[in-house]
Amino acid sequence: MDSDIARLRFVRILSHLVFIAAAAAFAWVFYHPDTDHPLALLLHCGIAVNLWSALQAAFSFTTTCGHKVKPWLRGANLTSMAAIMFFCILAMAAKEHPCRHILFVHIALSLYIIWDILAIKYYKSVSVFLYERYVLLFWADLSLVVVFFAGYIPFLYAAGFKKGATIMTPDTAHMFANIFVFTVLIAELLVYLYAEFLFRLSKSDILLSPEQGYRLWAPNYKSGNAIIHVERRHTLSVLDSLSLDGSILDFGCGDGYYAQSIARPANRIMAIDQCSQMLENARAICSGFNIDFSLGSVDRLRGIPDGSFDGVFAALVIDHLRDGELELFVSECGRILRSGGWIYLSDVNAYYEQSIHPYARFVDAKGYVRKIVVYPHSISSVLGALSRSGFPSIDLTEVPVTEEDLCAWPDLRDEISVGFSLISSYLGVKP
């Protein structure tokens, strides 16, 4: 693993050097000191810098995001960047023909905008940071086109825009044009560097804590996600087989989806969640039921007397608990359950959370994709914790994904296939 990281770092450094050399060569080859004004080199350097940024952006996108995005977006990136470089070269090669030169420059700039729009459309539902990055680039690139059109072309007219006139003449107006465009291109580079900062911010996968994440998710929680869809399909069938009379604890109750089902036959139910906004949703959904809502996490169980409940229910909760917290939670469940009481846990496949989808993903009320930290637990670790807490026999069920699940959540098809065990459930009884 370390050798792979070192190799990738070397390739990135080498790519920077190659792209810088290519951009410098581009600026020098198309600059003719005998016929061009000295300040024309500024314009060449400015365009060369943006040529480097296009090369580096395409490389960064391909090496870091290329394997994660849809094929059409990957193809659009490579095609647009190649076309941009092609028209930049045509623009400088046609500098003796003002009309062609200006046409090629604006085509290249317009391709930047087209790519930005495609990326914005794609990333709005994938990553808030990359979405914001491309919105920023869109406005920067659009401003660049406007500046070129409103500023660069009048300079050419002032210098004598006529057939056979060259763009790089010693005229004063052309001198100002070179300085002006160079300044704009450098400003564009600064925006690009800031956008790169957002890009690296997105790669760091800033993950929200469960409390932070569910606070943002609460207004839009009904939208759900693929994990919730598959888990509910299974757990609702399990609830029909459980004895729900007596006192039941719903730990991590969320918006009260399961609490209202459990509350109908139960004599008493306590619902605990660490997010106050989710509890407000649960209270609204479960009004009229005998439910005691309580704000808290695992530590909240310490204050509950021994043998207080006939059942403990925790759906999609334990992957938000660290190993030590999982052990404490299961131990406390064993303590507060009466003899003959049951415990039901559902969890996400550990391999899926480690290698395929290392976070809980949701879309907030503003349409931004957010990510919540998860702590994958293998089946053996969960069974071990339950065994140590007084549950010698556990009914383990691994829930496979069906074609209906993939149809309901098409994005899931890009990650797993039919038959993949996405959810594990654990049902045990205290002797």
Q: Which of these three, 203, 235, 253, is where a domain ends?
A: 203
Do 168 and 251 belong together in one domain? no
**Domain ends where: 145, 171, 203?**
203
Residues 6 or more apart whose Cβ sits within 8 Å of residue 62: 74, 77, 78
Specify the residue for token string 């637990």.
377
**Claim to verify: residue 276 and residue 183 sit in the same structural domain:** no
pLDDT, residue 168, reads 45
Ramachandran quadrant class, 252 (left: phi over 0; alpha: psi -120 to 50; beta: rest): left
CA distance 147 to 106: 11
Q: How far apart are the first and last CA of the chain?
A: 46
One domain, residues 135 and 88: yes
* 194 and 84 within one domain: yes
**The pair of three-digit structure tokens given for residue 102, joined into one six-digit string:** 């200006």
Q: DSSP for 5-57?
A: HHHHHHHHHHHHHHHHHHHHHHHHHT--TTTS-TTHHHHHHHHHHHHHHHHHH
CA distance 341 to 328: 18
Looking at residue 297, its pLDDT comes to 92
Beta bridge partners of 398: 424
**What pLDDT is recorded for position 342?**
95
Same domain, 214 and 192: no
User: What pLDDT is stored for residue 165 in this prediction?
Assistant: 47
* pTM for the predicted model, two decimal places: 0.59
Q: Looking at the structure, do residues 378 and 423 belong to the same domain, yes or no? A: yes
Q: Are residues 168 and 274 in the same domain?
A: no
Element (H, E) at 261: helix 257-263
Number of domains in the chain: 2
Predicted local confidence at residue 176, as pLDDT? 55
What pairing do the DSSP bridges indicate for beta strands 394-400 and 247-251?
unpaired
The token pair at 231 is 């888990």
| Helices vs. strands in the chain: H and E counts, helices first | 15, 9
Residue count of the chain, please give it: 431
Q: Does 224 lie in the same domain as 172?
A: no
Give the Cα separation of 68 and 62 in Å (integer).
Answer: 10
For 209, 320, 329, the CA distances from 336, given in Å and listed in that order, are: 27, 21, 11
Q: Is residue 87 within 8 Å of residue 104, measured between CB atoms?
A: yes
SS3 letters across 71-117? HHHHHHHHHHHHHHHHHHHHHHHCCCCHHHHHHHHHHHHHHHHHHHH
CA distance 148 to 181: 7
Express each pLDDT in 314-373 by its tens digit.
Answer: 999 999 998 889 999 999 999 999 999 999 999 999 988 887 778 888 877 777 778 888
SS3 per-residue string spanning 166-214: CCCCCCHHHHHHHHHHHHHHHHHHHHHHHHHHHHHHHHCCCCECHHHHH
The answer to whether residues 198 and 218 belong to one domain is: no
| CATH number, residue 424 | 3.40.50.150
Give the C-alpha distances (Å, rounded to integers) separating 381 from 86, 118, 143, 318. 56, 44, 56, 12
Does one domain contain both 300 and 166? no
269 and 188, same structural domain?
no
Residue 129: exposed, middle, or buried by beta-carbon count in 10 A (0-12, 13-18, 19+)? buried
Which two tokens mark 227? Answer: 């994990």
The per-residue pLDDT for 1 is 34
Beta strands (DSSP E) in 229-286 are: 247-251, 268-273
Q: Of 185, 203, 221, which closes a domain?
A: 203
388 and 353 in a common domain: yes
**Domain around 38:** 2-203
φ, ψ (nearest 5 deg) of residue 129: -70, -45
Residue 176 sits at the vertex; the CA angle it makes with 98 and 97, to the nearest 5 degrees, is: 10
Q: What is the pLDDT along the chain (431 residues), one digit of tens a residue?
A: 334 445 556 666 666 676 666 666 655 655 555 555 565 666 666 666 666 666 666 666 666 555 556 778 878 887 887 787 788 778 767 766 767 777 887 787 788 888 889 888 887 766 666 777 788 778 877 877 776 666 555 555 554 544 444 444 445 555 555 555 556 556 656 666 665 665 555 444 467 888 888 998 999 888 888 999 999 999 999 998 888 888 999 999 999 999 988 887 667 899 999 999 999 999 998 888 889 999 999 999 998 999 999 999 999 999 999 888 999 999 999 999 999 999 999 999 998 888 777 888 887 777 777 888 899 999 999 999 999 999 999 999 999 999 999 999 988 887 888 999 999 999 999 99
